[in-house]
Structures are given as C-alpha cells and as structure tokens.
Amino acid sequence: MMKTLLSLFATACVLLSQAKHATYVSSKEMDAAYPKHSVVVDQGGYRVMAIGREKSGEAEVHGKSTDIVYFVEGSATLTTGGAVLNGKTIAPDEIRGKAIAGGEQHRLQAGDVITIPNGTPHQFTVQTSCRYFLVKVRTNDEGKPAKVTPFSKGGALGAGDGYKASASHREKDGIAEVHARDSDIMLFVRGTGTAVTGGKAEDAKATSPEETRGTNVSGGVRQTLKPGDVIVVPNTVPHQFVDVKGPLDYFVVKVRSAE
C-alpha cells in the first residue's frame, strides 16, 4: 500500500511540474537590479529582491513578512528590536519611522545571513555603499529574535514559519530532485555548474511523502551558473546540478508552498 501511494505521489509531481518552470536571473541582471531596489521574482507567498543602499534607511516594521537577507557587499549596522520613533502606517501591515529607540545592533559584512522575523523593528545604518539579496516570506514568526550568521558557518543558517535558509556546498554533480511543497531560491556564491530544470526525473522514486529523487533530469532546460546568478525553482519542478566545477557554494532559501 505504501509503495503504491509513493508511486502515485511521484506521478503527481511530474504532472504538476508541467505547469511550472524555474526562473533564472543572471549576475548581470542582478547588478542592474540592486541600485533600483528591484523585485526580481514575485510568487505571492514570497518575493525575491535586489537591494542597494548608498545611505541609511528608515526604521521599518513588516507586519506579516519575514526578511531573509544575504549581505553581498559593503558594510552596515543593522538595529533590530526596540521601538520605532514617530512610526506611521504607510500601507497595510507596513510601518516606517525616523529611528529606533533601544534595540540590538549587528555589524554586517559581506557573507552575513540575516533573518528578521515579521513584526520586528529594524533599520540599516550604512557605513559604505552596500548590496544585499533579500527574500521576503509571509510568516507568523512575530516575537522571535533576529539572527545574524556568517555564510561561512555552512549548513543551517536560519528557519521559521514556512522557510529554511542554509549554505549549500557541492563538490560533484547531483541527482535529480523534486520537492512537492518546497520552492528553492538560490544565490550562487562560488564556483560554476549547470542547472537542469523542468523535464522529467528519470527512474524517480519517492524517498519520503514529499520528496522524490531520480538518476537524472531528461528534457529539461540547461542553464550555466556562476557567482552572482539567482535561480528560483518552484515546488514540483525537477532539477539537478551537473558539470559542477567546484566547489559550488550557494545560499538557498526553501519556502514551503501552501499547496
């Protein structure tokens, strides 16, 4: 009975993947997007953004969105917690103010990963012009502390309601993967390789109720990857890393779909 259910699950993932596709954003496109505070991918439940700052920002509170940040370059001080001074609601669930009273200060440098739960006041004070990769996820994490962890630590870097952030490291090609509910949002940091997305996972077997693995992806789209590139692979879409010339290091945020 269990084998039959897992087989049906694997077949369902193949059918669902036909309606979705991965999104690739080149490092050149990201470079152009950072100064504009651009949304590069918007999937409703999460948004992927490129943020560039030449000066300090306002105090902010996002009522329903957690910010997951990879600090790309520059330096800044992030204040989290405390209270927003002269705060005003500028949109539903969005507050802005001039400054933060109290709170905790975090000195940021390239390679830091930051998670700022929804409901947490925060403000960037810029020392030098900076850029950061931002994933906004709708969550219910209010009351949890902000966290700063260097990417170089490796492994798990943060987790909350419906998401996990981690540092991934590859020395060789991978197998085909299909995640039933988790979308993968990846920023490549070091090394090169090729992502194969879409198509079909060959010899696919369900390894758990929500995960399928296969020998390889056939009939997919091939995209060469390099540092600074971003790729977003929605849940149910087969994907595989090949031609890895490493090590291949990348920052990945897994966002859980409601489907």
Structural domain total, the chain? 1
Residue 80 sits at φ, ψ, to 5 deg, of -125, 150
Query: Is it the case that residue 44 has pLDDT exceeding 60?
Result: yes
> What is the mean predicted confidence (pLDDT) over 35-52?
95
Q: How many CB atoms lie within 10 A of CB 115?
A: 27
In angstroms, the CA 40 to CA 160 distance is 23
DSSP 133-173: EEEEEE---TTPPPEEEEGGG-EEEEEETTEEEEEEEESS-
Candidate from 11-25, 28-42, 176-190 with smallest mean pLDDT: 11-25
Query: Domain of 83: which CATH number?
Result: 2.60.120.10
Q: What is the CA radius of gyration of the chain?
A: 19
> What is the mean predicted confidence (pLDDT) over 1-17?
44
Mean pLDDT rounded to a whole number for the chain: 93
Which domain covers residue 245, as residue numbers? 2-256
Tell me if the bond preceding 35 is cis, omega within 30° of 0: no
| SS3 state of residue 226 | coil
> What is the mean predicted confidence (pLDDT) over 47-58?
97
Candidate from 9-13, 151-155, 250-254 with smallest mean pLDDT: 9-13
For 84, the token pair is 């927003």
Residue 169 contacts by C-beta under 8 Å, 6 or more apart in sequence?
154, 247, 248, 249
Residue 227 confidence class, pLDDT cut points 50, 70, 90: very high
Query: Is it the case that residue 9 has pLDDT exceeding 90?
Result: no
Query: Is it the case that residue 191 has pLDDT exceeding 70?
Result: yes
Tens of pLDDT, residue by residue over 177-190, are: 999 999 999 999 99
Which among 49, 96, 252 has a CA at the least distance from the CA of 165? 252
What percentage of the chain reaches a pLDDT higher than 90?
90
Residue 11 contacts by C-beta under 8 Å, 6 or more apart in sequence?
none
